[in-house]
Structure 1
Amino acid sequence: MQRAIRWVLVLAGVGCFLPLAGAQSLDPTNQMARDIFKQLIEINTTDSVGNVTTAAEAMAQRLRTAGFTQNDLHVDGPNERKKNLVVRFRGTGKRKPILFIGHLDVVEALRQDWSTDPFEFLEKEGYFYGRGTEDMKEGDAILVTNFIRLKKENYLPDRDLILALTADEEGGSSNGVDWLLKQHRDWIDAEYCINLDGGEFEKEDGKPILAAIQASEKVYVDFQFESLNPGGHSSVPTPDNAIYHLAGALARLQSFSFPLHLNEITRNYFERMATLTLGQVSGDMKAVAKVPPDPAAAHRLSESGYYNSLLHTTCVATMLSGGHAPNALPQTARANVNCRIFPGEDPQEILKTLERVAKDPKVRITIVSQTGPDGKAVPVVPVPPSPLLPEVTKAMEKTLSITRPGVPLVATMSTGATDGKFTRIAGVPTYGISCMFFDKNDDRSHGKDERVGVPDFYDGVAFNYKLIRELSSSR
């Protein structure tokens, strides 16, 4: 999951910071949350040697102990190491269920790269350290804690609340959300989905800046550029060279920009942000938000890599290989081109555009297929954005007014990918809401010495609890 880059639509004004959790001794809820967080961090769930099933079973046992029945708990998956946890909190059925998702797997972490053991939960100088503390076992711990708390309180929601903690969001061929939708949709079918692996809450210098709802995300697709040639002895070169063909195609791609594309979220983003900036940038933002957008303004804004990603599909070469011997003409030359496709655009149309841009019949371009647990290719399809449901935005606004008065609520669109793409494709509107604040200048997800602030974690527990009740209380 990519936390660092997102699109924002400002919906309210910035305000003050009111800490929710201090350094005092922990109350029972926060102690439980800490214990669960520690347990999850210390279970290795990497794709190489880890075991997601172990983490799923550990959380299932806690939920059973809290009173969830066996009929409402499922631990299942396509193989023994990649089982997913699904639990249903029964409500009155007045409204359709809400699905809450998080992934249990984490990216690889090498002990020699870290200052501490990445699979040892460490609290130090106001931070929790460990692989997955930011991406995203903190969210898993928050959800399990609050499901248990609500159960112990004998809370009766007006709708079923479903929790799914899954495998292979970070990679691998056994994505849990995809598998559940295909094999057991009835376990997780819902009116909409809340994904704690998106919609980051940002802070800077200790002060909250914004709280986000991720309503959409770009589509991740890899393309292979390949040139093949009979080769020969390097002492007798010819212009027909696989590396030259590939290099020419990549050079043409480098100078190409995909067509300007805006939607309701990005148009409103630029419209609102124009009031918070000055000079030429402010004017360009206003101009690009108009219908139709001003091409010159879009061109100037696109000189910024960040704004360019907001206005276009992007494709960039990320890996390169070629040749088989230093004294031989290359028989093969290949490149991986990673595209982040604007929601609603067809990946097949992007493929056709890349072929036109490459403009070389000796460079073959194909979509790099992803495979499912059965080994079959998973088709790449457009991911629709989710409409901003007033029910969700109003619940967020109310919860923010209690916990973080004055902090702006924003609608976001991630340039990275989350499991929300599977639920959106399946027709379930999905909203990324991380519920806890992350330092925008200290993003360590997927990196060395991953960490989150201790009070931020406990504040996230409280925020999520209030949000769940707001979304599921009788009206």
Structure 2
Amino acid sequence: MRRATTAFCLPLALSAVSFAQTSAAAAPRLPEQDAKLAREIFQQLIEINTTDSVGNVTTAANAMQKRLLDAGFPAADAVVLGPNARKGNLVARYRGRPGSKLKPVLIIAHLDVVEASRSDWTTDPFQFVEKDGYFYGRGTQDIKEADASLIESFIRMRREGFVPDRDIILALTADEEGGKSNGVEWLIANHRDLVDAEFVLNPDAGGPEQEKGRAVNIGVEASEKLYADYVVSAANPGGHSSLPRPDNAIYHVADALGRLEKTTFPLETNEVTRAYFAASAKLQTGQLAEDLKAVSGPTPDAAAAARLSKDITYNSLLHTTCVATMMNAGHAPNALPNAASANVNCRIEPGHSQEEIRLELVKIFADPTLKVQYMNDAREIFDHGSDRKSMAPPPLLPAVFEPLKVVVNQMWPGIPVIPRMETGASDSIYTMAAGIPSYGFSGMGVDRDDDRAHGRDERIRVVDYFTGVEFQYLYLKALTSR
């Protein structure tokens, strides 16, 4: 794949025309001026490296701040602040009707992205490439597409003179994907007054679930799994490779990971996943519909769950999952390793703590010579995990869901809005812990079989991006126009 294509250099009007002609949505055509702006912002964000290792989130925050200031937002309503020079967070406030008694709505979206190696990608992950109907680049699915649509919506609404019925606060933040300076956590701890709200919207979850480009439902994150990293390690005296020892540290760790690979955690459902399976069953046919219905009751059918678990998405909804993601061992090709370690990443079903799963891993590995330790987001290692568990689902507030259903029916007539459990993890853990009900959804659709977030050649379909841009604008206006 080439770094740039002819389509990449065409006028932006082409993207707007493509949106109008090919989108499965029934939304009004995205105006050319707004399509152009949305594409420019998206490209600018993709081409700012915001990885934890060598990137700079503050650079992206400053760039978005400048766009808001250039659009006429007062300096006091678009500020960048953070714990250090690289981890700045943009907090922008769109002022509502004077005298309104309604508390603000807070929207959180992270600016940082997962690491990406150029050698792994067909394209440069930090160059915005449009090819064959897709935008490529690190963050196109997670979640710079949402960042760009939110900034575009703020600018578009201000240009039109729109006055919402409450303040809308936007926080574009650092270190959701890892690092020592999570922006949402830091803002709540240090500047609660800037981000305090009645409820939170988080586009880092939910949204259109698509099959071959067609949206079949709109998922809304109402719960999420708990994230945890564990380090499994072995150590021995090492020595010369011509005198192999039976207690090779690499073999010890590899054997343990082999046992993990063959282990399935217990089948579990909760009120959110049961509702999701019940609603999804109505959208399917044949054995799949029967199996989805069979796991939607208080006692899920084990045989149906086993069939569903062959699909990685359903498997992650039905089980805690733990998988090896990194290994480190050895110091020379002609020497026995005196140490070996691996990172095991777990996504834990609600109701279980990080320490509980650490102890489960100890049982699975069944090797007393191994250490199994918990590692936090700052990569600090502890002998015990925390006792924190996933938060209980928030109430389904009419203020959030009534306008959502209106806009969904306008853009995707007839498809249902379904509460769901996020199988990853998001910054909603911090806002929920702060007592602010939080909901995850956006208008950016991705096919179930093309989820490339955190992976190589991350991409989003051009039509899906512009559909999501229009959804964001329409929903913010519907949300604050009662």
- Pick the TM interval, shorter chain: 0.7 to 0.9
Q: Corresponding residue for 1:30?
A: 35
Deviation of 1:431 (Å): 1.7
Instruction: Specify which of 464, 474, 482 is matched with residue 466 of structure 1.
Output: 474
Deviations 1:219-271 (A, max 9, x none): 22111122233445667766555455445544443443323221111112333
Residues 1:54 and 1:322: Cα distance change in structure 2 (over 3 Å): closer
Q: Is the 8 A contact 2:27 2:410 kept in 1?
A: no
| Aligned with 1:455 (options 434, 446, 463) | 463
Q: What per-residue deviation string (whole Å, max 9, x for no partner) do you get for residues 327-363 of structure 1? A: 6665323222221111232111112222233333222
Over 3 Å counting, the alpha-carbon distance change for 1:311 and 1:450 in structure 2 is closer
Distance 2:276 2:154 in 1: 35
What is the DSSP-based 3-state SS (H/G/I as helix, E as strand, rest coil) of the residue aligned with 1:365? strand
Residue 67 of structure 1 aligns with which residue?
72
- SS of the equivalent of 1:157 reads coil
Secondary structure of 2:360 counterpart: helix
Give 1:409's match in structure 2, choosing from 414, 417, 421: 417
Superposition RMSD in Å: 3.2
Higher relative contact order (CA 8 A, sep 6+): 1
1:100 CA displacement: 0.9
Going from structure 1 to structure 2, the CA distance change for 1:252 and 1:127 (only over 3 Å counts) comes to closer
Residues 1:331 and 1:404: Cα distance change in structure 2 (over 3 Å): same
- Matched with 2:446 is 438
Q: Flag the 1:319–1:433 CA change in 2: closer, same or farther, 3 A.
A: same
Alignment partner, residue 317 of structure 1: 324
Quickly say closer, same or farther: Cα 1:38–1:225, change in 2 above 3 A. closer
> Which secondary structure state, in structure 2, belongs to the residue aligned with residue 417 of structure 1?
coil
Secondary structure of the corresponding residue to residue 223 of structure 2 = strand
Q: Which residue of 2 aligns with 1:256?
A: 263
1:86-105 equivalences in 2 (<5 Å):
86-92=91-97, 93-105=100-112
Alignment match, 1:169:
176
Residues 409 and 355 from structure 1, CA distance in 2 versus in 1: closer, same or farther, beyond 3 angstroms?
same
In structure 1, the gaps of 5 or more residues are: 1-15
Partner in structure 2 of residue 11 of structure 1: none
Using a 3 Å threshold, how does the CA distance of structure 1 residues 338 and 205 change in structure 2: closer, same or farther? closer
* Distance (Å, rounded) in 2 between the aligned partners of 1:366 and 1:112: 32
1:399 corresponding residue in structure 2: 407
Q: Distance in 2 between matches of 1:334 and 1:210?
A: 42
Tell me if the contact between 2:178 and 2:377 (Cα under 8 Å) persists in the aligned partners: no
Q: State the match for 1:42 in structure 2.
A: 47
Inter-CA distance 231–151: structure 2 relative to 1 (3 Å threshold): same
Does residue 381 of structure 1 match 2:388?
yes
| Cα contact 1:42–1:119 (8 A) shared by 2 | yes
Give the Cα separation in 2 of the matches to 1:144 and 1:378: 38
Task: Output the amino acid matched with 1:190.
Answer: A
- C-alpha contact 2:276 2:418 (8 A) present in aligned 1: no
What does residue 197 of structure 2 align with?
Answer: 190
Verify: 1:52 aligned to 2:60, yes or no: no
- Matched residue SS, 2:217: strand
Instruction: Give the conservation status (yes or no) of the 8 Å contact 1:386–1:431.
Output: no
Identify the residue that residue 431 of structure 2 maps to in structure 1: 423
d(CA) in 2 for partners of 1:400 and 1:291?
30
Shift of 1:75: 0.5
Q: How many residues align?
A: 454
Cα distance per residue 1:347-405 (max 9 Å; x no partner):
111122222333332222110232299xxx99683231533333322221111112221
The letter of the residue matching 2:201 is I
* CA–CA distance in structure 2, aligned partners of residues 455 and 228 of structure 1: 52
Q: 1:286 aligns with which of 287, 293, 306?
A: 293
Q: Which amino acid aligns with 1:404?
A: W
Name the aligned partner's letter for residue 89 of structure 1.
Y
C-alpha displacement at 1:158, in angstroms?
Answer: 2.3
Q: Which residue among 277, 288, 296 is the counterpart of 1:270?
A: 277
1:83-142: CA deviations, max 9, x gaps? 110011222442221111222223345556655554444445544444433332221121
Closer, same or farther: CA 124–21 of 1 in aligned 2, 3 Å: farther
Q: Which residue of 1 aligns with 2:14?
A: none
Shift of 1:301: 4.0
- Work out whether residues 180 and 378 of structure 2, in 8 Å CA contact, stay in contact via their aligned partners in 1: yes
Pairing of 1:93-242 with structure 2 (within 5 A): 93-109=100-116, 117-124=124-131, 126-231=133-238, 242=249
Q: Among the aligned pairs, what percent are the same residue?
A: 53
Aligned 8 A contact 1:21 1:458 in 2: no
How far off is 1:429 after superposition?
Answer: 2.3
Q: CA deviation at 1:275?
A: 4.1
Deviations 1:125-173 (A, max 9, x none): 5444444333322211211111122223333322221001112223332
The whole-number CA distance in structure 2 between the counterparts of 1:390 and 1:324 is 59
Distance in 1 between residues matched to 2:259 and 2:343, nearest whole Å: 15
1:364 matched to 2:362: no
1:313 corresponds to which letter in structure 2?
A: T
**Alpha-carbon distance between aligned partners in 1 of 2:436 and 2:263, rounded to the nearest angstrom:** 35
